[in-house]
Structure 1
């Protein structure tokens, strides 16, 4: 009975992400952007720990009635895509035609990506950009780039979802895992600080946040390039 209870508790933990998504949506509707991101970060934290717990407590064996992968994807689409993209437009950071472009391209591409059976690689990395638009949106809120630059970046990342490009999983990718976990922890801490402080990190912390974001975005591509170089030399 105890293994089944532990396994079911993991599903319950994952499902709290839906509650956080609702709170984030309500905050977004009320233009309380800091609170929206704080709720999204709470959902991101849950998403980061429920997978290891699910594997540890063997949820597919002891709580097979509920599909944890499907539950996770439903919540991820809300917290990674739907709410952050709405915020980019509704906040005025990406208004007008640039905003309509993001509202069209990103949800469409992400819906296809989230049902892609080749999303994960053999080393638990992501095949293609993993649709982390919550991270993209927070970066836009902090840096406030030109709206058209944001649209171009969104289009390129949407295309990258379906290209044979590697992106690290912050918890599961074994290569460089200690570094990736440290950078992910640093990113989360700075993201919380930014959201709590109305997105004003200041120049030094802003550069650190940008560097952490670049690492999480490019680490998998660098690993992929090294692997191909090793094969070519062999």
Structure 2
């Protein structure tokens, strides 16, 4: 009698499962390239780093679907793809974006130490066993530091304003608030995915128009595009907090649920 996963079909499924893990691990390759660019520094390097972060986000947005489709946890029970995913995400969503904020000198001189608060807050969020609610939301600010770094760089906010946002989003990690989780089912998440399409196109266009020899300014062609692209972050944060406040007023605190395994 054959065992589950034995035979030609089992070998194919194992190969596909390892392929999904390799796809997830591409995020580490991308992260390495981003690190090289950040060490290099300069407008062209920063633009390249942001473009690679966009690609890393696309990988992260699709590997979980592939993993569930193939059933990698069942096919390869001895390999924890969730840990690989978390390692990659911490680098591409937190560590490298915060490193970019430092390298691009977006904070006031002498205030760079506040970035450690963001690093620790994000580590806290990533280490939560139950990081999502049972009704399909992220619990606490979901460490979207790549987006924060992008807007701080493109809009070139005053240093103290940039510092304020870094502290604010760090503290919001600990607030038991709901944030949209677009890959989950539901009408609001479908709307989020629809709106994400023009937003993503705008981001690519902005990065293409960014100056490479100088620091971005309000006179650059990319600046009005960046302002227009704020429609999505405003929608995301606004919808998340409207839902959060409504649930608070209804006396419905978020109930945690262990995250599903990914690639």
Q: 1:62 to 1:161 in 2, by over 3 A?
A: same
In structure 1, distance between residues paired with 2:160 and 2:223: 24
Q: Pairwise CA RMSD of aligned residues?
A: 1.9
2:243 aligned with 1:223, yes or no? yes
**Shift of residue 208 of structure 1?**
2.5
Structure 2 unpaired stretches of 5+ = 1-9, 211-215, 253-263
TM-score for the superposition, normalised by structure 1: 0.90
Higher alpha-carbon deviation: 221-230 or 173-182 = 221-230
- 2:165 counterpart (109, 128, 153): 153
Q: Distance in 2 between matches of 1:231 and 1:116?
A: 23
* Residue 127 in structure 1 maps to residue 151 in structure 2: no
Provide the C-alpha distance between the structure 1 equivalents of 2:18 and 2:76, rounded to a whole number of angstroms.
6
SS at match of 2:23: helix
Distance 2:121 2:249 in 1: 31
Unaligned runs of 5+ residues in structure 1 are none
The question of 1:196 aligning with 2:217 is answered: no
1:66 aligns with 2:86: no
Q: Which residue of 1 aligns with 2:54?
A: 41
Cα distance change of structure 1 residues 155 and 231 upon mapping to structure 2, 3 Å threshold = closer
Q: By percentage of residues, which structure has more helix?
A: 1
Partner residue, 1:5: 15
Q: Which moved more, 1:3-12 or 1:75-84?
A: 3-12
Check conservation: 1:138, 1:191, Cα contact below 8 A: no
Shift of residue 228 of structure 1?
Answer: 5.0
- Structure 1 residue 175 displacement after superposition: 4.1
TM-score normalised per structure 2? 0.81
Partners of 2:243 and 2:204 lie apart in 1 by: 28
Other-structure match for 2:34: 24
Q: Larger C-alpha radius of gyration, 1 or 2?
A: 2
Q: 1: CA distance between counterparts of 2:120 and 2:229?
A: 28
Higher RCO (Cα < 8 Å, 6 or more apart): 2
Give the CA deviation at 1:227.
4.4
Secondary structure of 2:127's aligned partner: coil
Q: Using the alignment, how far apart are the partners of 1:133 and 1:149 within structure 2? A: 16
Cα displacement (A) at 1:30: 1.1
| 3-state SS of paired residue (2:132) | coil
Partner of 1:101: 114
Aligned to 1:110: 122
